[in-house]
């Protein structure tokens, strides 16, 4: 109950901040639509010269673009604003106020800043997924759809856990400002199925910087390409990832010396 109240308070606060800059919000939404149009045009150009890309058709690539936008919304709406704030709080000692609150500090760091207008991307993402699946010739069952949703959430948890680990390193390396730059740099790899990349890059985006786990893997489940053991493995990996990230965060808090140092 307390968590829900805090989320509601954070959301209202960030909505008020967004309403204070209405013109910027409208411009950003229009720019976002422009980029979406460019992405769809790029796919259309690609498929005007081929029928498949890495074994995936146009409809499946549109659905993949929708999943990519879900992940990208997580990054831009939550991760990037809070990364900047967190790094600054470590340097100036204001992290003290977060730690002293009677609420989980990892929760506060994650949700204190939310780019509210970016949730418009969620609507676009869902539309792209639905349109892409309908364009695909493959039939989908309710179980495949449920597995897709579950693995999409699983992939986001894994990326979130990786982010927690990266920012927690700031507890030890205070001037580690570019701690998530590599995550953003490789995020664009999620626009396309992992099967189009060479083996070495496929390993990186699947196991090291697991962008494909949040984009390609859920769509593979929707296509019926995953065995139950693979699905359970990805779910287990997300649970272990979150557990390890929480442990590293707690270790970082013990390392933090505060403003008095």
Q: Which residues contact 217 (CB under 8 A, 6 or more apart)?
A: 151, 155, 206, 226, 234
Cα-Cα end-to-end distance for the chain:
36
Structure tokens at 85: 């704030």
Q: Which residues contact 8 (CB under 8 A, 6 or more apart)?
A: none
Report pLDDT for 246. Answer: 93
Report pLDDT for 247. Answer: 94
Please state, in angstroms and as integers, the Cα–Cα distance from residue 61 to each residue in 191, 212, 221, 260, 261, following that order.
Answer: 8, 13, 14, 52, 52
Report pLDDT for 86. Answer: 82
Give mean pLDDT in consecutive 10-residue pieces for the chain, a chain of 261 residues. Answer: 68 66 70 80 81 79 86 79 79 80 82 76 85 78 87 88 86 72 72 81 78 84 85 91 93 76 50
Taking the C-alpha atoms of residue 72 and residue 85, their distance in angstroms, rounded to an integer, is: 19
| H-helix segments, 136-198 | 142-168, 181-187
**Main-chain phi, psi angles of 56, to 5 degrees:** -110, 140
Concatenated DSSP letters of 124-152: HHHHHHHHHHHHSSS---HHHHHHHHHHH
Q: Which residues contact 162 (CB under 8 A, 6 or more apart)?
A: 183, 209, 210, 241, 245
Please state, in angstroms and as integers, the Cα–Cα distance from residue 212 to each residue in 90, 107, 158, 196, 220, following that order.
Answer: 31, 25, 11, 12, 10
**Main-chain phi, psi angles of 139, to 5 degrees:** -90, 145
Taking the C-alpha atoms of residue 53 and residue 243, their distance in angstroms, rounded to an integer, is: 36
pTM, two decimals, is: 0.81
Q: Which residues contact 201 (CB under 8 A, 6 or more apart)?
A: 189
């Amino acid at each position: 109950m307390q968590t829900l109240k805090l989320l509601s308070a954070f959301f209202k606060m960030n909505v008020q901040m967004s309403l204070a800059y209405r013109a910027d919000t409208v411009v950003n939404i229009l720019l976002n639509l422009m980029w979406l149009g460019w992405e769809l045009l790029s796919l259309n150009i690609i498929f005007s010269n081929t029928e498949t890309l890495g074994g995936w058709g146009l409809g499946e690539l549109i659905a993949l673009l929708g999943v990519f936008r879900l992940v990208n919304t997580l990054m831009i709406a939550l991760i990037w604003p809070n990364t900047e704030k967190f790094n600054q709080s470590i340097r100036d000692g204001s992290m003290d106020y977060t730690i002293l609150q009677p609420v989980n500090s990892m929760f506060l760091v994650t949700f204190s800043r939310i780019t509210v207008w970016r949730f418009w991307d969620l609507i676009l993402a869902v539309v792209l997924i639905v349109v892409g699946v309908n364009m695909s010739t493959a039939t989908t069952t309710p179980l495949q759809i449920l597995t897709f949703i579950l693995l999409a959430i699983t992939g986001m948890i894994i990326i979130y856990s990786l982010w927690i680990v990266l920012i927690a390193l700031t507890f030890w390396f205070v001037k580690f400002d570019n701690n998530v730059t590599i995550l953003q740099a490789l995020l664009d790899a999620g626009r396309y199925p992992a099967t189009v990349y060479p083996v070495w890059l496929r390993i990186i985006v699947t196991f090291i910087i697991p962008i494909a786990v949040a984009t390609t893997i859920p769509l593979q489940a929707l296509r019926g390409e995953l065995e139950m053991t693979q699905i359970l493995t990805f779910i287990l990996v997300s649970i272990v990832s979150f557990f390890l990230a929480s442990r590293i965060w707690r270790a970082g808090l013990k390392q933090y010396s505060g403003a008095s140092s």
